Amino acid sequence: SKAQSQAKTRRSKRFLQSRQPKLTEDQKSSMIIRGGNTSQTVSQALKDVYALKKPNAVLYKRKNMVRPFDDSTALEFFSKKSDCSLFLFGSHNKKRPNNLIFGRMFDFHVLDMFELGIERFVSLRDVKTDTCPEGTKPLLVFAGELFETDREHQRLRSLLTDFFCGPRVSAVRLAGLEHVLHFTALEGKIYMRSYKVLLKKSGCRTPRIQLQDMGPSFDFVMRRNHMASDDLYKTAHRQPRGVKPKKKKNISHDAFGTRLGRLHMQKQDLDKLQTRKMKGLRKRRGEQTAETAAAAAKAPRTDE
Amino acid sequence: MWGRKPRCVIRTKMASCSFEDVLAKAERDEAEKLKGITVSKELDLEFDPGNLLAFDKNRIDTREFKDCKREDFLRSLARDNTQLLINEMWKLPTERVEEVIVAKLPDPTTLLPREKPAPKPKPPTKWEQFAKLKGIQKKKKTNLVWDEVHKEWRRRWGYKRAKDDTKEWLIEVPENADPNEDQFNKRNKAKKERVARNEYNRLKNIARAQKIKVPGMGLAPTPRQSKAELAQAVNVAKISTASVGKFQDNLPKEKTPKNTGRKRKFQPLIGDFSSEKQKQLDLLKVMDSKKPRLDVTKAVNKQMREEDMESRHKNKKDFGKKGRRGKMSGKGKGKAGGKGKGPKGKGRKPQMKQGKR
């Protein structure tokens, strides 16, 4: 590709290759951007989310005079430079106080954006309990029928899942399920709570859960949003061919574990089957017509 | 676990044991045990263990919520939902990895959009196409090779490799080579050529993959072009006209190259067997037949050419009687006129000038 041809060292070439599209993608990185003017609440909120999302996040602490809903080119430029597909933009003004915009990109263009206003915020610092280690994959719980019925809430649910779910893992340590993020949707407001999971003894193998308040808790109110069109959304979900494992057809296993295959044959004319040739039984040329006539008149001849 | 309780029951209460009682007692004990972890909900939650995700569709009682104990309500709701999710997680198959119990997660069921569009499959390179045709498999090679000279394991290529050609201090002159030839230089040159050819083929593969048109050899601008490359460039420029160079004159002492044009393209050795068989049979059929093969296009062109020649000759014959004189006169006039003009003109000017004065 053009970018790779510009790489002059092997290290830079490897770096550019890691940014190329892949069949199965790595974990999405997120960029947390501070807007033109931020209040104490917003700044602290951004720092807390950055703490949750470390190490796959970058925090842009300086003021960025960007208006995402008017002009998203600046965000797209940042995303291309830092190779991040998720973003969180925080700002504060009189019209929209304590504003957070959650968003995601596809191919470095904005896919979805949701503007949420913070009504109440409890920071990590204010809650004096021990937290779980950085990078633990959190349990995500969404509650509320609005997440099912309302289209905007559905999209928001998908966006929040994308934002907060950690890396894709094949196995997880059962004792390490320590962090849970709980989102409740009620009357146009989203309540986000974060708890530490304590596994207590119960009579049986599965432990009893006790939750301890931890981490940032937000009371959001839904403001504007920008949802991607249906076909763009569909294109973003398109998986390449190599991802799904191909099913092997016509192979089955029976109860004993033996592997059975299935062959499909074309229709065979049993009269004209090619079997072993026995020279003595071959018909001579002269006798042929007489014999066939005789055979036709007689009973059905025996098959070889 | 299931087997234990009934045995206890039977041992202590031998007198009043009926089968139903035993079962009922066992069930109650089980329920007692699971009391800690059971949660009753109107609608079951939707789980996605691959993403550690749970979704609760139940209606939230707004009255309870509006009370001052909002945080407690949320916490209890979260506790119930998390309990159900944990129950789901504990149902997954587990295995022991280095003294730690680990649950194997299934594939995530919630579809999330991709970051970037799917990569397009690269077209195979020339070698890959050939290997596929011939059925050549890639052979995995070992990283290290035993070096007899140094008596140790060295890498196959790169820094301090096993058989390093460049480090040889002695090269035998082969029998059929010139004794005054520099073998070391020859080796270096051969290597440079190989490297250059490799690089060229790699770039051609990339160009083919991206469908960029590459100019032929010798035409891409290089700093120093050799005589042969320049000649080739000149020839290509010559045929880059609308009439493919038919009316381009040669420079004095320039010879037109005779062997230009496409090389014959042969079919691959192992190609389509049926088509090869068909070709051979057709050839035999043609050889067998008594009738001569007629190429209609060629015949028509030949006929047209003959007709043209005939008509031209005819015209020439007719004109020759009339036009010869005319032509000759024209020629003569021109020549005479030209000859006359020349000295006259030359002589005239000074006369004229003199006249003016």
CATH number for the domain including A136? 3.40.50.10480
**Nearest Cβ partner for A142 among B55, B86, B104:** B55
Do the chains contact at B83 and A238, CB–CB below 8 Å? no
- Note whether residue A244 is domain-resident: no
- Number of Cβ within 10 Å of residue A136's Cβ equals 16
3-state secondary structure of A117: strand
Strand A189-200 relative to strand A217-226, pairing? antiparallel
- Note whether residue A201 is domain-resident: yes
Question: What's the distance, Cα to Cα, between the start and end of chain B in Å?
Answer: 143
CB-CB contact of A206 with B87 (8 Å)? yes
- Note whether residue A14 is domain-resident: yes
Do the chains contact at A105 and B115, CB–CB below 8 Å? yes
Do the chains contact at A206 and B117, CB–CB below 8 Å? no
Question: What's the distance, Cα to Cα, between the start and end of chain A in Å?
Answer: 67
Cα distances from B229 to residues B189, B219, B233, B235, B285, in angstroms, run 19, 7, 6, 10, 47
- Note whether residue A303 is domain-resident: no
- Note whether residue A32 is domain-resident: yes
Amino acid at A74: A
pLDDT of chain A, 304 residues: tens digit per residue? 666 777 889 999 999 988 888 888 889 999 999 988 899 999 999 999 999 888 889 999 888 888 888 888 999 999 999 999 999 999 998 999 999 999 999 999 999 999 999 999 999 888 878 888 888 899 999 999 888 898 999 999 999 999 998 888 888 998 888 999 999 998 888 999 999 998 888 878 888 889 998 889 999 999 999 999 999 999 999 888 776 777 788 888 888 889 999 999 888 888 887 778 788 877 776 655 555 555 555 545 555 4
Q: Tokens in use for A1?
A: 């590709």
Do the chains contact at B86 and A209, CB–CB below 8 Å? yes
User: In a mutagenesis test of the B interface, which of A20, A110, A140 is the best target, namely the one with the most B β-carbons within 10 Å?
Assistant: A140
Cα distances from B347 to residues A180, B333, B351, B355, in angstroms, run 115, 20, 7, 13
CB-CB contact of B89 with B49 (8 Å)? yes
**Nearest Cβ partner for A171 among B102, B113, B117:** B102
Residue B29 Cα to chain centre, angstroms? 67
Q: For B81, which residue in chain A has the nearest alpha carbon?
A: A141
The C-alpha atoms of residue A275 and residue A33 are separated, in whole angstroms, by 80
- Number of Cβ within 10 Å of residue A13's Cβ equals 15
Spell out the residues 6+ positions from residue B245 whose beta carbon is closer than 8 angstroms to its own: B238, B239
- Note whether residue A266 is domain-resident: no
- Strand partners for A294: none
CB-CB contact of A140 with B45 (8 Å)? no
Q: Tokens in use for A261?
A: 């295959």
Q: Tokens in use for A130?
A: 């021990």
Mean pLDDT, rounded, for B116-142: 89
Query: Could you give the number of structural domains in chain A?
Result: 1
Amino acid at B326: G
State whether residue B104 sits within 8 Å of chain A by CB. Answer: yes
CB-CB contact of B52 with A138 (8 Å)? yes
DSSP state of A140: E
Strand B46-48 relative to strand B152-155, pairing? unpaired
Please choose, from the candidates B105, B111, B300, the residue with its C-alpha nearest in 3D space to the C-alpha of residue A170: B105
Query: pLDDT tens across B56-76, in order?
Result: 988 887 777 776 678 888 899
Place of tokens 């018909």: A283
Predicted pLDDT at A117: 93
Spell out the residues 6+ positions from residue A186 whose beta carbon is closer than 8 angstroms to its own: A144, A146, B60, B62, B65
- Note whether residue A249 is domain-resident: no
Do the chains contact at A204 and B33, CB–CB below 8 Å? yes
The C-alpha atoms of residue A178 and residue B89 are separated, in whole angstroms, by 13
CB-CB contact of A199 with A175 (8 Å)? yes
Per the structure, the complete domain to which residue A38 belongs is given by: 10-237
Q: Tokens in use for A95?
A: 């019209």
State whether residue B280 sits within 8 Å of chain A by CB. Answer: no
Chain B positions in Cβ-Cβ contact with residue A202 (cut-off 8 Å): 33-34, 36-37
Do the chains contact at A203 and B52, CB–CB below 8 Å? no
State whether residue A167 sits within 8 Å of chain B by CB. Answer: no
- Note whether residue A294 is domain-resident: no
pLDDT confidence band for B341 (50 / 70 / 90):
very low
**Nearest Cβ partner for B74 among A145, A184, A187:** A184
The C-alpha atoms of residue A154 and residue A161 are separated, in whole angstroms, by 11
Do the chains contact at B82 and A139, CB–CB below 8 Å? yes
Do the chains contact at B37 and A105, CB–CB below 8 Å? no
Predicted pLDDT at A37: 87
Residue A59 Cα to chain centre, angstroms? 24
Do the chains contact at A210 and B79, CB–CB below 8 Å? yes
The C-alpha atoms of residue B277 and residue B315 are separated, in whole angstroms, by 54
- The nearest CA of chain A is from the CA of B160 a distance in Å of 20
State whether residue A236 sits within 8 Å of chain B by CB. Answer: yes
Do the chains contact at B102 and A172, CB–CB below 8 Å? yes
